[in-house]
Amino acid sequence: MSKLLKPEGYTALLSLNQTEQAIKKIKDFFLNSLSTELRLSRVTAPLFVLRGLGINDDLNGVERPVSFPIKDMGDATAEVVHSLAKWKRLTLAEYQTKPGFGIVTDMNAIRADEELDNLHSLYVDQWDWERVLLAENRNEAYLRRIVRKIYSAILRTEFYVCENYPQLNPYLPEDIHFIHSEELLKLYPDKTAKEREDLICKTYGAVFIIGIGGKLSNGEVHDNRAPDYDDWSTPNESGFLGLNGDLLVWYPTLNRSVELSSMGIRVDKEALLRQLALQGKEERKELYFHQRLLGDTLPLTIGGGIGQSRLCMVLLHKAHIGETQASIWPEAMRKECKEAGMQLI
């Protein structure tokens, strides 16, 4: 498997039994920390939603959702969620959640088109969270404030797990660095987006890249984003476009950056219409979710997803995400992993 990274001399620092116990400790502790930092209440989330309502996250627009007919509903089609980006906003409206408070849930997804490697799996598990905000908080300063709270929860969890397992040493920096995707392009103009991420993360250890989805000065986007959840086209006070971004850390075990979270301030009516037009997807205005937003029946929110297996992977110093979750892998990859000391669950 050419895409498999095999760190030289890699040895798992925890046994399989210790790993399973540590995964539970991390998930329980981080959820409590995140909920406290952001004032989130846990809710129950769906594994699948009905097709045609505009609720499912279409990611980059090319990934095929796993779907099936529902016998007792006239063979109406259900889709396994890609994420709960839009479902959470509907739920906040239903629960009449006040500004400054929000919800968090365990999101489980199947992404059949994922290219499998050390970080990508068919199975995706996230803490999906969403918080109501006031109109005056739709700005970059508020985005940075929330990012720092999330990073504080990550640091607290790293300290906790290292206290429980002394063979693990903390390595994350105390502070997170912020940079706009356009600034990052100007810093490394001859590099690809992924190379730019690696370089900036290796320099600072933990980075939040602001503004992902809109076109940069070179005519390209740093990474693709759907037009109907994150706001990636509104100018902010720094003069840049975008009120969203990705949280990444430098991961010495694999000698590369790892994205732990994608998040942002969500679209309001103006941003939704603008971004649908930019991507040529204006027909979505007729879908249920979009009608709710355009009809002023959904709150303004900020939200995102934080990878559960990925966080466990980087905090437990694992070389493959299959060491912190159970999934399906090509037999050739399983064989290579075993030979390289990676104990896939």
Question: Which candidate in 33, 35, 57, 308 is catalytic?
Answer: 57
Is 259 noted as a catalytic residue in this protein? yes
Active site residue 28: no
Task: Give the β-pairing of 40-42 and 102-110.
Answer: parallel
Can you tell me the distance from the alpha carbon of 118 to that of 258, in angstroms, rounded to the nearest whole number?
10
Three-class secondary structure of residue 298 per DSSP: coil
Query: Closest by alpha carbon to 231, among 284, 194, 257, 270?
Result: 270
Exactly one of 83, 121, 181, 262 is catalytic; which is it? 262
Distance of CA 157 to the CA centre of its chain: 18
Q: Which of these is catalytic: 37, 114, 223, 259?
A: 259
Q: Which of 121, 126, 181, 308 is catalytic?
A: 126
Active site residue 262: yes
Burial class of residue 51 in the structure, from the number of CB atoms within 10 Å of its CB (0-12 exposed, 13-18 middle, 19+ buried):
middle
Tell me which of 140, 230, 231, 246 is the catalytic residue.
Answer: 246
Q: CA 225 to CA 45: how far, in whole Å?
A: 23
Secondary structure element (H or E) that encloses residue 251, with its range: strand 244-251
270 catalytically annotated:
no
Q: Which of 35, 79, 111, 225 is catalytic?
A: 111
Do 128 and 305 contact (CB within 8 A), yes or no? yes
Per the annotation, the verdict on 57 as an active-site residue is: yes
Q: Three-class SS of residue 301?
A: strand
Positions marked active-site: 57, 111, 126, 246, 259, 262
